[in-house]
Chain A
Amino acid sequence: DTGVSQNPRHKITKRGQNVTFRCDPISEHNRLYWYRQTLGQGPEFLTYFQNEAQLEKSRLLSDRFSAERPKGSFSTLEIQRTEQGDSAMYLCASSLPLLGRYGYTFGSGTRLTVV
């Protein structure tokens, strides 16, 4: 395993439905992040895990959003009662503690379209 894996790559859902995305980070990385990217914008921070502990949630993450990282391995991001404004690319990333020098490794993302 040489990269961050995200599934599914694409998801089309009807407004009001629940969706769940999965992220498998690089196994040596204890830090895991979720970001969201919309058209014309850079990635925006959603949440951060160190091992299994969720240490920060952005105010962008409304009550309809929940993320977990059981056992400090893979992570899931669930969106309940989806809205059209949730349409975006959801990016997962992982890193070592020396973030500044080496940065994150991102997955290919999950493109969500809410119709």
Chain B
Amino acid sequence: DQQVKQNSPSLSVQEGRISILNCDYTNSMFDYFLWYKKYPAEGPTFLISISSIKDKNEDGRFTVFLNKSAKHLSLHIVPSQPGDSAVYFCAASALGGSNYKLTFGKGTLLTVNP
């Protein structure tokens, strides 16, 4: 049972345009959502997070939107740059005793074309 789902294995966008990466979840106990970026042969790097009590968080070119009623979040990258080409993972942590554990989606490969 996959609690965090990234249904698009890949996404291709032109440099300068917006990239929108989507993530759906099933567990209502998730209280924080995080996005990670991963280059080949490297570990994932933390990008941005959002608390379940908020609907938007922005950091430079990266904005995460959360729709709790739809159990959906998205990461917007504007403007997209070739260096953004990587695999993006959505992750979530739950309230309670397992609040140290992150549950990851399968990732979306973003390719930004010059």
Asked if A107 contacts B32 (CB within 8 A), the reply is: no
Q: A103-B46, A103-B49, A109-B43 are known contacts. Are A42 and B89 too (CB-CB below 8 A)?
A: yes
Q: Interface digits, B28-49 against A, CB 8 Å rule (1 contact, 0 not)?
A: 0001101010000111111001
Q: Which of B56-114 contact A (CB under 8 A)?
A: 89, 91, 93, 98-107
Measured in the bound complex, the distance between the Cα atoms of B6 and A3 in whole Å is 28
Which residue of the partner chain A has the closest CB to B102?
A104
Q: Which of A33-75 contact B (CB under 8 A)?
A: 33, 40-45, 48, 50, 55-56
CB distance from B29 to the nearest CB of A (A): 12
26 contacts between A and B (CB under 8 A): A33-B100, A33-B101, A42-B89, A42-B91, A42-B106, A43-B89, A43-B102, A43-B104, A48-B100, A48-B101, A56-B101, A91-B44, A99-B99, A99-B100, A102-B46, A103-B34, A103-B46, A105-B46, A106-B36, A106-B43, A106-B44, A107-B43, A108-B42, A109-B41, A109-B42, A109-B43
Q: Which 7 A-B pairs have the closest CB atoms?
A: A100-B32, A42-B104, A106-B43, A103-B46, A103-B34, A108-B43, A43-B104
Chain B interfacial positions (CB closer than 8 Å to A): 4, 6, 9, 31-32, 34, 36, 41-46, 49, 51, 89, 91, 93, 98-107
